[in-house]
Structure 1
């Protein structure tokens, strides 16, 4: 099966979050029915939390057997476990604390008060991934991976023109001196991200228009890490009108562009 990128444009952030929430709920129900369980890889950032909140508020939320869902993270801030900056804490407040989950299936990154140092934390999370990875695969089966995108094009903790975006052999890296605070982070690598069955990328706001255009134009992965993201089955970019406003029409091929009125084959 050949993977492809699709762009879905929505008029505003609210409709964008609602659509992504509905898509995630529907797909999780399908996967659990087919496989018996499902796996969701989460990220941080404003848009990601907005989507998780939309899932929490959805009338269809409890149609999902959340106890059958495993939760992983793409990246984490190297801060104490009780820090409000921690992606895990924000995800719990937005969604996980409001649904019936199996805590044994929740796999957060170690916090700065839970590991000897950041390198040890990276090794520990790589070992956690390996323990749940079948056969010769690089990572567990991720049915859906959420990603936000920075205005510089970074995804997870993979920033432009850094060694992290070029890493191919390790599952997890320690990110130090990141160009945005906090400077120290943990992140899975691009091969782990791209092992995901489906990657849902959520972009909102005019500050993302330029980087979206560059990614669609084929900018190098080192300059725009977003360019290197491609799931096994589907890679869907859910964007609002503001984020899409500066993308020239000639950079969007008809076969890779959908409006919110069109359907998405999410298999």
Structure 2
């Protein structure tokens, strides 16, 4: 059964950036204080444009214990890190260059391998760092997601077989309908096992899809974003007024 998420609607993109950054910093501080570290999985798209400059500037930058952060990617495009399409590369430019997260705690996917090997290697990184235990799924403290205009999230696209994967943690996607077509993505069992899952959407281009994804009076089986429903965690949306205009 779907549980209705909390939807935070902010006046504009700047207010969204500030509220989202404060949310992430609060969760990170609480988690580092209680567990000694904070494991977060980032998405690509506009997420780093929204949150990176805010997290990487004062007053937040100098108040965060960056040494406790471990950063992963929900999905990655199978392109060189130097490519403008690389999620890691974009995060490096917008976020990591501004803060002091230890390099060894930034867990980028090895795109020098073929897609299947990249996915398998990333699974091994999840197992080593998160140590879920035999037969258990890794548990992130926070997963940050965007949503595409077709309802996809991470690199989980409508009607794609990866949506039904319930055994693997990370899978290759070699036929994504959006460019670039080759990617790797975490699967729904991992996303839905997180303690906190937060969607982010901004701008009028997201208004129509948000009106569908957030309309819980209608069944929306074709929208992957609706498959995100943490089994033992909190689901929230942070959106600006333009994105929420049709909700």
TM over 0.5: yes
Shift of 1:241: 1.0
In the alignment, the residues of structure 2 paired with residue 78 and residue 61 of structure 1 have an alpha-carbon distance, to the nearest angstrom, of 30
Q: 1:145-156, aligned counterparts within 5 Å? A: 145-156=143-154
Q: Judge conservation of contact 1:47–1:204 (CA < 8 Å) in 2.
A: no
Residues 43 and 75 of structure 2 are in contact (CA less than 8 Å); yes or no, is this contact kept in structure 1? Answer: yes
Secondary structure of the structure 2 residue equivalent to 1:191: helix
Does 2:176 align with 1:157? no
C-alpha contact 1:165 1:221 (8 A) present in aligned 2: no
Alignment of 1:173-192 (within 5 A): 173-192=171-190
The CA RMSD over aligned residues, in Å, is 1.7
Answer yes or no: is the 8 Å Cα contact 1:166–1:222 preserved in 2.
no
**2:171–2:185: 8 Å Cα contact kept in structure 1?**
yes
**2: CA distance between counterparts of 1:77 and 1:223?**
23
Q: Relative to structure 1, is the Cα distance of residues 222 and 78 closer, same or farther in structure 2, using a 3 angstrom cutoff?
A: farther
5+ long unaligned stretches in structure 1 = 248-267
Shift of 1:204: 1.0
Contact preservation (8 Å) 1:29, 1:63: no
Q: Does the 8 Å contact 1:3/1:234 carry over to 2? A: no
Write out aligned runs for 1:183-222 (5 A): 183-218=181-216, 222=221
CA contact (8 A) 1:3 1:233 kept: no
Mapped contact 1:6–1:235 kept (Cα < 8 A): yes
TM-score by length of 2: 0.92
- Is the Cα–Cα contact under 8 Å of residues 154 and 224 in structure 1 kept in the other structure? yes
Please tell me whether residue 110 in structure 1 is matched to residue 107 in structure 2.
Answer: no
- C-alpha distance in 1 between matches for 2:172 and 2:58: 35
Separation in structure 2 between the aligned mates of residue 35 and residue 3 of structure 1, nearest angstrom = 27
Partner of 1:123: 120
Verify the 8 A CA contact 2:48 2:95 in the aligned structure 1.
no
Aligned residues: 242
**Cα distance in 1, alignment partners of residues 61 and 229 from structure 2:** 27
TM-score, with structure 1 as normaliser? 0.85
